[in-house]
Amino acid sequence: MLYYAVVFLVIALIAALFGFGGIAAGAVGIAKILFIVFIVLALASFIAGLMRR
């Protein structure tokens, strides 16, 4: 999940470099959503690991 967030962030940076503002904004939006999902799943996994002990 984190890998895809980074990929979309790189796509956004490259698109912004070449002047494609709409594509860059969309890619940044997707990267933000994927990063938030990653954080939520990582925290849930961490909490579940603590509960098993």
Which residues span the domain enclosing 43? 2-52
pTM value surpassing 0.75:
yes
Nearest to 34 by CA among 3, 11, 15: 3
Q: Using the structure block, give the residue that is written with the tokens 């799943």.
A: 41
Q: Which residues contact 27 (CB under 8 A, 6 or more apart)?
A: 8, 9, 11, 12, 15
| pLDDT tens, position by position, 8-46 | 999 999 999 999 989 899 999 999 999 999 999 999 999
Q: Please say if the pLDDT value at position 51 is more than 80.
A: yes
Identify the pLDDT of residue 46: 96
Total structural domains in the chain?
A: 1
Give 1's pLDDT tier (boundaries 50, 70, 90): confident
